[in-house]
């Protein structure tokens, strides 16, 4: 595909884009490392995975709850003013965790509550830069964001695990914090691409857009995507362990993650035409069709091939959710909107992991895959509902 790399290069040659995208990508790698780093650190201290899971859960919940509040402050005061304070607080929280100065659960909650969602801040900058006639490039920009996210969650946990296995469990948390703080400060320093601030009256009016059905539908899709991810993680592990080959989980995850990166790259490189809502409905339907065979297949090769198919559709849904979120709300609340979507996905992962665990205990891995398929079907219903949304005209922000 000769035009593929050209599309991405042209995007990054747009004035100021590389200067904010690259620092945000570095910080996102640190974010991907933080949760796993906490697991290694707390387990090394306590010898208990239950304790490590509790602290990590507190971190995740705090991140999901506080993220939109930080986003709200960013929309009001700007990234350059809010980010340094948030990052300073994050540095203090990580220091408390590493020093063991407070109970681990308290420190974990503080680390999550002060972690800025740099991906949302980067997405808001893309939206501000690619306005008007240039908005046609937004899907490619959000595909670039999805690629950065995918690579971060492939490399980040692996790096933390290498450090932990080398007998340095605290190093993962420390390196993650350095990346988050360094990337975040570098992002804050790029003032030229900071989204413009709006007046109080405009923000107050814009806040109502967060209650529109078009936006809430994208939040619900983010939630179901989180359920899909959470249930998939439990189910793949249960499948491998149930066959007596726990090592098989790694190549199965690898098959899905690799096609995930390929799918996001290909969609971003494609010159898009037609309605994003139609693309979203088609991607959701494709994901549902690819997921349903998991409930009956048993051969590892067949499972791996099916997981690879699901991996192609997932990044497309992530990209289109960002595109439709961006078009559903005014700029005055755009950062909040992106962070609400991220929080919904995180909540879905947390809930699904617990639900799928119970289902797997009762019905085996195929029961867990049933939760995966159910989430994909729910996404299809939501996306098809968007095609009939009578308020679609209200999605036009301006």
Nearest to 115 by CA among 69, 175, 53: 69
Mean predicted confidence (pLDDT) in 66-94? 94
Average per-residue pLDDT for the chain: 87
* Shared-domain flag, residues 235 and 105: no
Residue given tokens 């995850």 in the structure block = 253
Structural domain range at position 326: 205-398
At 397 the pLDDT is: 42
- The pLDDT confidence band at residue 394, using thresholds 50, 70 and 90, is very low
pLDDT tens for each residue of 187-244: 999 999 998 877 666 766 676 778 888 899 999 999 999 899 888 878 888 888 888 8
pLDDT surpasses 90 at 121: yes
* Residue 143 scores a pLDDT above 60: yes
The CA distance from 177 to 173, in Å, is: 6
Q: What is the pLDDT of residue 359?
A: 87
DSSP-H helix ranges across the chain: 2-13, 17-46, 49-77, 79-99, 104-113, 118-129, 138-165, 169-189, 200-206, 213-242, 249-269, 276-291, 300-326, 334-387
pLDDT at 354 over 80: no
Q: Looking at the structure, do residues 157 and 212 belong to the same domain, yes or no?
A: no
How far apart, in Å, are the Cα atoms of 61 and each of 57, 111, 203, 345, 369?
Answer: 6, 11, 27, 11, 25
Q: Do 36 and 144 sit in the same domain of this protein?
A: yes
Q: How confident is the model at residue 185 (pLDDT cuts 50, 70, 90)?
A: very high
Same domain, 244 and 214: yes
| pLDDT higher than threshold 50 for residue 391 | no
pLDDT tens column, 84-111 = 999 999 999 999 999 999 999 999 999 9
| Whole-prediction pTM | 0.84
Asked which of 177, 197, 217 is the last residue of a domain, the reply is 197
> Is a pLDDT exceeding 90 seen at residue 2?
no
Determine phi and psi for 29, rounding to 5 degrees: -60, -45
What Rg do the C-alpha atoms of the chain give, in angstroms?
A: 20
Given 197, 224, 253, which residue is the final one in a domain?
197
Tokens of 242: 């149930």
Query: Are 141 and 113 members of one domain?
Result: yes
Contacts of 228 (CB under 8 A, 6+ apart): 287, 291, 314, 348, 352, 372, 375, 376, 379
Distance (Å) of CA 62 to CA 103, 113, 124, 394: 16, 5, 22, 32
Kindly state whether residues 325 and 356 are assigned to the same domain.
yes
Q: What is the pLDDT of residue 5?
A: 67
261-294 pLDDT, tens per residue? 888 888 887 766 678 899 999 999 999 999 999 9
CATH classification of the domain holding 348: 1.20.1250.20
Check whether 352 has a pLDDT greater than 60. yes
Residue 51 has pLDDT above 90, yes or no: no
Residue pair 371/235 in contact by the 8 Å Cβ criterion: yes
Is 254 found in the same domain as 152?
A: no
Residue closest to 188 by CA, chosen among 345, 77, 308, 81: 81
Mean pLDDT of 102-125: 94
Judge whether residue 295 has pLDDT over 80: yes
Do 276 and 321 belong together in one domain? Answer: yes
- Alpha helices by DSSP H, listed for 166-209, are 169-189, 200-206
Q: For the chain, what percent of residues have pLDDT higher than 70? A: 93
Q: Hunting for tokens 């690898």 — which residue is that? A: 254
Tell me which range, 119-128, 262-271, 326-335, is most confidently predicted by mean pLDDT: 119-128
Q: State the pLDDT at residue 13.
A: 83
Q: What is the mean pLDDT of residues 296-322?
A: 92
- The per-residue pLDDT for 393 is 47
Residues 166 and 273 in one domain: no
* Total structural domains within the chain: 2
Mention every residue, 6+ apart, whose C-beta is less than 8 A from residue 159: 33, 172, 175
Final residue of a structural domain among 197, 228, 256 = 197
Assess whether 185 and 216 both reside in one domain.
no
Residues 96 and 240 in one domain: no
- Please indicate, yes or no, whether residues 257 and 129 belong to a single structural domain of this protein: no
Rounded to whole angstroms, the Cα distance separating 24 from 178 reads: 13
Rounded to an integer, the average pLDDT of 177-191 is 96
């Amino acid at each position: 595909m000769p035009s593929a790399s050209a599309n991405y290069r042209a995007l990054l040659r747009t004035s100021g884009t590389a200067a904010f995208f690259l620092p945000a990508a570095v910080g996102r790698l640190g974010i991907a490392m933080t949760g796993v780093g906490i697991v290694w650190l707390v387990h090394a201290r306590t010898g208990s995975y239950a304790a490590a899971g509790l602290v990590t859960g507190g971190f995740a919940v705090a991140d999901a709850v506080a993220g939109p509040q930080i986003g709200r402050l960013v929309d009001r005061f700007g990234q350059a003013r809010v980010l340094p304070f948030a990052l300073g607080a994050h540095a203090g929280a990580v220091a408390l965790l590493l020093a063991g100065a407070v109970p681990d659960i308290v420190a974990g909650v503080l680390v999550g509550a002060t972690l800025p969602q740099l991906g949302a801040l980067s997405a808001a900058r893309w939206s501000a830069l690619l306005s008007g006639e240039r908005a046609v490039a937004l899907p490619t920009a959000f595909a670039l964001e999805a690629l950065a996210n995918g690579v971060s969650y492939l490399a980040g946990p692996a790096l933390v695990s290498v450090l932990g296995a080398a007998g340095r469990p605290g190093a993962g948390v420390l390196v993650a914090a350095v990346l988050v703080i360094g990337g975040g400060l570098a992002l804050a320093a790029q003032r030229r691409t900071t989204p413009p601030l709006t007046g109080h009256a405009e923000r107050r009016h814009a806040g109502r857009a967060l209650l529109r059905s078009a936006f809430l539908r994208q939040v619900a899709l983010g939630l179901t995507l989180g359920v899909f991810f959470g249930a998939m993680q439990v189910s793949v592990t249960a499948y491998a362990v149930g066959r007596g080959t726990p090592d098989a989980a790694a190549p199965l995850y690898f098959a899905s993650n690799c096609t995930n990166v390929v799918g996001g790259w290909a969609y971003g490189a494609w010159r898009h035409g037609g309605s994003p809502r139609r693309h979203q409905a088609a991607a959701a339907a494709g994901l549902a069709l690819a997921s349903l065979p998991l409930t009956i297949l048993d051969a590892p090769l067949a499972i791996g091939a099916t997981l690879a198919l699901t991996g192609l559709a997932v990044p497309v849904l992530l990209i289109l959710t960002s595109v439709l979120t961006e078009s559903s709300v005014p700029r005055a609340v755009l950062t909040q909107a992106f962070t609400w979507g991220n929080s919904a996905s995180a909540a879905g992962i947390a809930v699904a992991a617990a639900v799928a665990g119970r289902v797997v205990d009762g019905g085996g891995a195929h029961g867990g895959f049933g939760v995966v398929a159910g989430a994909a079907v729910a996404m299809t219903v939501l996306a098809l509902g968007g095609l009939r949304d009578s308020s679609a005209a209200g999605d036009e922000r301006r």
